[in-house]
A and B are shown apart, each in its own frame.
Chain A
Amino acid sequence: MIYSEVSGTVSEILVSRDQLVEKETDLLIIECMKMLIPVTTKKRGKIINIYVKENDIINEGDKLVDINYDI
């Protein structure tokens, strides 16, 4: 599970459910303190769920994306 490390607004979602992602892939962009901060995956995996949509206001610690790394 990937949680948000910052509070802000979901600016853009770059992946979709069931998508395979390589490590270091940007999954979504959060606008925080006027900066666009990418949320990346540290490991290769398959997107199981995306818990936010664009323009959602999020808090630190909110669930963002669930990834299955055992593929």
Chain B
Amino acid sequence: MSWEKELEEKVSREKLSENLGGKDRIKKQNDAGLYTIRERIDILTDKSSFNEVGKLAGHAIYNENNDLIDFKGSNFIFGKAKIDGRNIIVGGDDFTLRGGSADASIKEKHLKCEQMALSLQLPLIRIVEGSGGGGSVKTIETSGRANVPEVEGWNLVVESMGTIPRVALGLGSVAGLGAAHLACSHYSVMVKEKSAVFVAGPPVVEQIGQKLSKNELGGYEIQLKSGAVDDAVNTEEEAFDAAKKFLSYLPNSVYQLSDQIISKDDPKRASEWLIEAIPKNIKSVYKIRPIIEDLVDKGSFFEIGKEYGKSIVTGFCRLNGWPIALMASDPYSYGGCWTSDTCKKVQKFVDLAETFHLPVIYLVDCPGFQVGLDAEKKGTIKEGVRAMSAIWQTKTPWMSIIIRNCFGVAGAAHKRGSSYISRFAWPSARWGSLPLEGGIEAAYRSDIENANDPKLELQKITTRLNKLRSPFRSAESFLIEEIIDPRHTRKIMCEFADLSAPLRKTGITSRTMRP
């Protein structure tokens, strides 16, 4: 008595499952410079760590005696694996089988994958290619009836946005439900020239008169600028590395806290050049990224969404080894003014930090919201108040360092009034309800117009007011708590990270984030 025979059948069925869509389809996939889903999981995860779930699920063909003739696995593969020694759940589409679409899928596998990650409170990496288990036109024939659209299990996706880190990698053409899975993540990556993401692909779009290539319609340049996808890299290997790096700053779920990694970088390290990092000429810009790189633990800055809402740079970093969510204004984009896209970027980033209990540091150089017709047409003020509200809803420890401009409502969004924040300013800081430049002519119109020499009068008023806006005048009234030497900013930021670490609290936030 032995069950060897049954086990032999299991092994033989699993082998058939490994054939994916067949040799020709696999060759086609590889010839296009793309890995198959099994190769992808193999490269992404630690060696031999992948424990697949549902490898025997698929579509079998039997003869008249009910003997198995052929078997093809489902085109969605998932299971538990390890990356860098840490447990994760990974699930991905097999494009070699009906382009990943529903007619070769078993939808319960998608649901189980989502449920498994959520229940085990482990990060989920979704590798998306094709329609991600969504329908194709052929579905009507395979099912024999039309489908009333429904995304079963989306409640799990929504719940997990507030519970576990979700990373999505778009590694080929991604459309429909696949695009939805890519967009519904905390961090998404596509591969330049290989990936394209769209609601519907070029053949469908041609029906509405738009003749576009895949790249023209949904290539990385389009999707990064639109904010639908966060980052683009050159190879699939780089996409896997980006996923690992992103996750390295986050806990497994909101029920845990991120760990400190002992840093070799001295938390008290001073940087001499920062005393002259901000130009004296207020119209001149400066590069913010070298300042960020210098302040954080060496090599720890991981930027997210570089091409979107560019007036704010967002990313994770470490300070004295503690993970921190860092935002910084970039004057190269609209002088650091918040555009509509910038506001949306701030909303998502602040929600991300709050969800996973990362303290926030904001390096402020914000002259206000973008002004002008374009800004009004894009609803900047509406997105602006949403961003400001997201900041006010945070409870995570918060530090703002005003390094230059801080004006108007957008400037005011550097702090929340709801609870304590640590706030400092560099001597280069300037603030107010409105910048003086351009505002004086309007506010002092009659004085200037009635003067014998209007030009001289304008100059006199400007000189007089400029003396009043010294940050020290504000410090006298305790409107700013501390003005610091820029060279010692890292020390202050590291102290903030140390002080914040024990204050972080686990659990689900009262308002869970949307994608």
**B-binding residues in A (CB < 8 A):** 5-7, 31-38, 59-60
Contact = CB atoms under 8 A, between A and B. Distances in A.
Determine the interface band of chain B, counting residues with CB < 8 A from chain A: 10 to 19
Nearest to A31: B283
Interface in B266-285: 283-285
Interface in B397-446: 435, 437-438
B339 to A, nearest CB: 9
Contact of A37 (B331, B371, B435, B437): B331
Contacts of A5: 310, 332-333
Contacts of A35: 283-285, 331, 335-336, 367
A33 B285 contact: no
Nearest to B437: A34
Nearest to B372: A7
A34 B331 contact: no
A33 B337 contact: yes
A47 to B, nearest CB: 21
21 contacts: A5-B310, A5-B332, A5-B333, A6-B333, A7-B374, A32-B335, A33-B334, A33-B335, A33-B337, A33-B367, A33-B371, A34-B367, A34-B435, A34-B438, A35-B283, A35-B284, A35-B285, A36-B283, A36-B284, A36-B285, A37-B335
A38 B367 contact: no
A6 B283 contact: no
B175 to A, nearest CB: 25
A60 B378 CA distance: 13
Contacts of A38: 285
Nearest to B281: A36
Given A34-B283, A36-B284, 14 more contacts: A6-B333, A6-B334, A7-B372, A33-B335, A33-B370, A33-B371, A34-B367, A34-B437, A35-B283, A35-B285, A35-B336, A35-B367, A37-B285, A60-B374
The 9 tightest CB contacts between A and B, nearest first, are A35-B335, A33-B335, A36-B283, A33-B337, A33-B334, A6-B334, A34-B437, A37-B285, A35-B283
Interface string B334-349: 1111000000000000
Contacts of A32: 334-335
Nearest to A36: B283
Interface string B354-375: 0000000000000100111010
A32 B337 CA distance: 10
Contacts of B372: 7
Contacts of A34: 283, 335, 367, 435, 437-438
Counting chain A CB atoms within 10 Å of each CB, the highest count among B335, B337, B437 belongs to B335
